[in-house]
A = this chain, B = another copy of it.
């Protein structure tokens, strides 16, 4: 009856921020509000160092058996020269692909207390709350051929292939429209149909889905380059943005940075609902990366990782009340002026460490 969490701290600041989540999960278990059984594994560079692969088959099996996977971050310069197939990112990509986590939800929310940490003018981001729905198991990330060919004479040819099929666009579109229904009922779909055939198909399928199943939601289209501009110019025009794997990668990073709250933003990667069990596989991770430059210094912001655990409570375990407690504890801690270095802004309070921030949130709980 305990929820099985498979925890992958990964590389860089990963272990530091994950430790704070483990504290909170144990607290809930002790408190009796929900029971969590935590298993731990290795992914990324740390898995490579231990096993020579970016994630072992045994850990993949554990991820598959878990009720939810929590992952912190992978990668770092230490593994720059390892073979392509076993680079740190390959572990994350295998998790996404093998667990069929096709829907990546990346909220970009500007915490009012942090609006000044944004590089944008305060009025443009204060109150910002948009959701990027990124397709995660298709596109140029996984299409074949994907190879480097030797042409002789010192010339090489590298190839990547972007492939999308109707059903892949339909199911990610459906996620976006359903989310929009619970929010401000607007979806902006983005591709480069003026250049790419996958963009043409994307545009056509999203239009049809809208007309047939979601006529009550407002749909608009923006080319990916134009959307990048609009995110910088006037991000509050957006509610839900739906886009492909590669555009989603770039646009969600830009959106996250706009908020000034990068160290605060969680994400969820969801699979299809199993018609037998009614469950869906899911992985939760912060939007930020492994930040090797500050790893080991105890100064990383654990909030995105803690909020990712909060998303797991909400989306995987239907523990909305517990998730609310986490969100409120984060808000209360920020309201008291506690800031890690990344969200310092113009605050004059002393900067707190990773554990101080985690402990403060725990105390609020």
List residues of chain A with CB under 8 Å of any chain B CB.
75, 84, 87, 89, 93, 119-121, 124, 140-141, 143, 146-148, 151, 154-167, 192, 194-198, 200-202, 224-226, 228-229, 231-234, 246-247, 249-251, 253-254, 256-258, 262, 289
Contacts and interface: CB of A to CB of B under 8 A. Distances in A.
A225 B224 CA distance: 14
A79 to B, nearest CB: 10
Given A158-B164, A232-B258, A233-B257, 17 more contacts: A89-B194, A93-B195, A119-B120, A119-B232, A119-B233, A140-B195, A146-B197, A148-B201, A154-B166, A155-B167, A157-B164, A158-B197, A225-B249, A225-B250, A226-B289, A229-B262, A231-B254
Given A119-B121, A233-B257, A246-B192, A155 B161 contact: no
Contacts of A256: 229
Contact of A160 (B141, B198, B257): B198
Contact of A163 (B140, B158, B234, B251): B158
A166 to B, nearest CB: 5
Contacts of A233: 119, 257
A160 B225 contact: no
A154 B234 CA distance: 38
Contact of A195 (B141, B164, B195, B197): B141
Contacts of A148: 197, 200-201
B164 A161 contact: no
Contact of A201 (B75, B156, B163, B254): B156
